[in-house]
Amino acid sequence: MVASSYRPHGLNTIARMWSKLGGVTELPGHQFQFAVDAFAGMGHAMRQYRKEVASKFTELTWGSGAVIVGGGVAAVMVVLGLSIGAMIAIFGYNLLGTLGAGPLAGMLTAVTVTRELGPIMAAVGFAIQAGCRITAEVGSMRIAEEIDALEAQGIRPIPYVVSTRLIAGMAAILPIYVLSLALCFWSAKFGLTTIFGQPGGSYTHYFDLFINGRDIVYSLIKVVVFVIAVTIAHSYYGFYATGGPEGVGVAAGRAIRASLVLIVVLDMVLTLGMWGIASTTSISFSG
């Protein structure tokens, strides 16, 4: 006969609530520990797995050379940069032009693209193109028991599988994002001045007036933070994928959902932290 545990009257409800609370916090705690292990393994990955880091950098940046299917982040970011710039040109011409303030589209480009649209564009593009690739690759390694084989050989799986991709993702996104940002600025100016006939000098004046180095640095910080969050999220769901090929597909769906939520939440937190609630950008009309 097994003795049952005794609790005083009234404590059973508290015990059940505590048990449920532990279940709610268990998954976030496990994910946080996974992220800590991935960061802690970056130094080991740079020392021991340089070739793997270089290989993942090439895969994430260029892929197999295709633009969409099997391609890397570079081609997608170029297309997104040109598209966002064209969208700003159309929006600025149709809205500001009707108010007689068409040249202020330069301000619109400098502020919105640098602070919000650019980082979010880069993060979403990275999640869709590189993030799903990471989940599929890591999930396939888990299903095929390759990660278990690494452990059997004495290779730490998180530094080899996750930290290498984390380093490669951060190294890949910076130059690609700078190029995409430049293409976005050029596309917006070309559309407004060449296609819609807005004064080029006025556009450049307002663009130079509102663009500044601090915003560019903050924009780079935001996109790196987004890429770190996306890489860890997709690696986590791939690392613990179960259920065969179908399980990898489920893991990819959960990872892209989690990464999009993380991007939005982190964007709000970073925007408030970097620029605050009261913006330093002010516009006044007189006369």
* Residues facing 241 on adjacent strands: none
pLDDT of 10 > 60? The answer is: no
- Nearest residue to 130 via CA among 231, 211, 232, 254: 231
* Percent of the chain at pLDDT exceeding 90: 48
Query: Alpha-carbon distance 92 to 103, whole Å?
Result: 9
Q: The whole model's pTM is what?
A: 0.85
Query: Over the chain, what is the mean pLDDT?
Result: 84
**pLDDT tens string 50-75:** 999 999 998 888 876 554 555 678 88
CA distance 269 to 277: 11
- 106 part of a folded domain: yes
What percent of the chain is helix, strand and coil (3-state, nearest 5)? Answer: 80, 0, 15
More confident site: 256 or 194: 256
Is the pLDDT score of 82 beyond 70? yes
- Residue 21 domain-assigned (yes or no): no
What is the model's pLDDT at position 51? 92
Q: What is the pLDDT of residue 65?
A: 52
Residue 18 has what DSSP assignment?
H
Q: What is the residue-wise DSSP string for 185-236?
A: HHHHHIIIIIIS---HHHHHHHHHHH--HHHHHHHHHHHHHHHHHHHHHHHH
Classify residue 20: in a domain, yes or no: no
Which stretch of DSSP H or E encloses residue 267? Answer: helix 244-275
Domain range for residue 84? 30-273
pLDDT at 71: 62
Q: Is the pLDDT of residue 230 over 70?
A: yes
Per the domain annotation, does 2 fall within a domain?
no
How far is the C-alpha of 229 from the C-alpha of 192, rounded, in Å?
A: 35
Residue 245: its pLDDT value, please? 85
Query: Is 283 inside any structural domain?
Result: no
Q: What pLDDT is recorded for position 2?
A: 47
Report if residue 239 sits inside a domain. Answer: yes
Whether residue 117 has pLDDT greater than 50: yes
pLDDT score, position 31:
87
Read off the pLDDT of each residue in 255-269 and give the average, rounded to a whole number: 94
Give the residue-averaged pLDDT of 178-200: 86
Chain center to CA of 92: 27
The long-range contacts involving 168-171, CB below 8 angstroms and separated by at least 24 positions, are 168/53, 168/54, 168/56, 168/57, 168/59, 168/60, 169/60, 169/126, 169/130, 169/227, 169/228, 169/230, 169/231, 170/224, 170/227, 170/228, 171/57
Per-residue pLDDT tens for 18-51?
555 555 577 788 888 999 999 999 999 999 999 9
Q: What is the pLDDT of residues 267-286, one digit of tens each?
A: 999 999 988 765 555 555 44
Percent of the chain with pLDDT over 70: 84
Task: Say what the pLDDT of residue 1 is.
Answer: 47
Q: What total of structural domains would you count in the chain?
A: 1
Query: Is 285 domain-assigned?
Result: no
- In tens, the pLDDT along 127-174 reads 988 999 999 999 999 999 999 998 899 889 999 999 999 999 999 999
